[in-house]
Structure formats: C-alpha cells, structure tokens
Structure 1
C-alpha cells in the first residue's frame, strides 16, 4: 500500500474508531498551582466534555505542563491518543463524529468562531494581565 493510500484509509477509519467510555483529563491542582487563564482553559474543556456526554476522570498532577505533549494544559488521554488544549480537542472529537456545531449553518459557525476569537483575544489577555498585576496572585501562585 502506498503512503497516500495508507493515510487516506487511516483518516477514513479515524471516524469509525471505537473510543473508550471514559477519558482521563489531566490538569494542575486548582488550589495553589493554577492561574486564572489556565483555570478557564480547564473549565472550557470540562464543559465541552460534559456537553458531548463524554465521561472523564480528572487527574490532578503537579507536573501537568511537563506531561503535556505541547506544554499546554489541560490535556486528555483517549485510548492511545493524547490531545492537549481546547482547539485540538475539538478537532480530535469532530473527526470522530462528536461536535456541538454539526447542526449549525456556515454563517452560525462563522459567528461562533468570531465570538471565540473575541473571548480568547480579549478576556484571556485580561486574565493574564490580572495574574501579573495582582500582587497576591503573583507572590502566592506564580512563585
């Protein structure tokens, strides 16, 4: 089988791949180790998994960033796959038939992407600034 044919077969089979009933979600401890932007990312992934009826087991780790293939948190282990961060997780499950936007028309999807971009570029940056400017957070959490 040529490489292109093997890749095509592999990508077609990805949609029919049997996923485990429960996935493992890895993130840092929430009390003294996680900053507001990372907490928001973890909450977004948990919310997405709940909305898609995907059962998960939360694994709290002090070294979650070092365990992640991209260095980003949170990340999930789905069978043999490890997927880090929110956007790649959406793509991973969309390829396997789980999507919250499958019933939307193109204009609705474009509007949703615009709102997501607004949230990421505005609120996420505000959260990052708050973490740096707030002395308690800076001294107690980031050190």
Structure 2
C-alpha cells in the first residue's frame, strides 16, 4: 500500500501471490468497498509455531483510530494462525507507530515482547534502509 508512506514497496505480483498462497494469514480492512488497511504474514517453514507478520499497512486517513490493533487481532484469530505460539515481526527503530502497536498487542495479550537485532542496515541492497529489530511476542494464549 504505497499510500501508507512507510512500507517498502513491493510488486503487485507479490501481493497477488500472498493473497493466493497465504490467504489464511492475510487480513484486509475495507471501508465502502475500498481497502483501507491490510496485514500479510505466514508461518516460517522451519518454525511452524511462529506466525510472522510481514507487513501491516493502513491509509493515513485511517491511522490513529485503532485499526492497526484490530487488524493484528484479526490476524491472530485468522484460520492460518491456529497452532501458533509466537508472533514475530520486524520493525525499524524510527517507526514509532509500529513499535507502540506491537508493545500494546503484547500488553493486551498479557505476554512478553522481546526485542532483538534482526537485520542490519548494511544487509539491505538499497542505501538508506534502517536496521530492523525482531519483535517476539508470546507465548500466545
């Protein structure tokens, strides 16, 4: 969702693949027939107990009204989330909204949120990308 102004841009083909192959771990929010937010994720093949949230995108006009929390909650209750004991995602240190969102999700669930380094800026091929920290939330109830 280019309009979010914070997500790494990916091809429409990638989003079609996610919607096709990972539909059980993707959630879309619509308002008047227009997509206003989404969550995409998957189970890493070697770690089926983990539900990895790859991207969350919300239109700027819909930010700040609790939609992110509702999307993540729906993601955790999606058919593809069954059996998951950990929620993982990565967040750039400057992304205060996402940091606050995932800390709030952990508080809401009454579980720990452990933050550790994941990818360094030097691992990204394009210049200007920040480090990404891994957020591990769980154990999920």
Kindly name which structure, 1 or 2, has the bigger radius of gyration based on alpha carbons: 1
Q: Answer yes or no: same fold by TM over 0.5.
A: no
Q: Please tell me the TM-score bracket, short chain as reference.
A: under 0.3
Q: TM-score, normalised by structure 1?
A: 0.25
Q: TM-score, normalised by structure 2?
A: 0.25
Query: Relative contact order (alpha carbons < 8 A, sep ≥ 6): 1 or 2 greater?
Result: 1
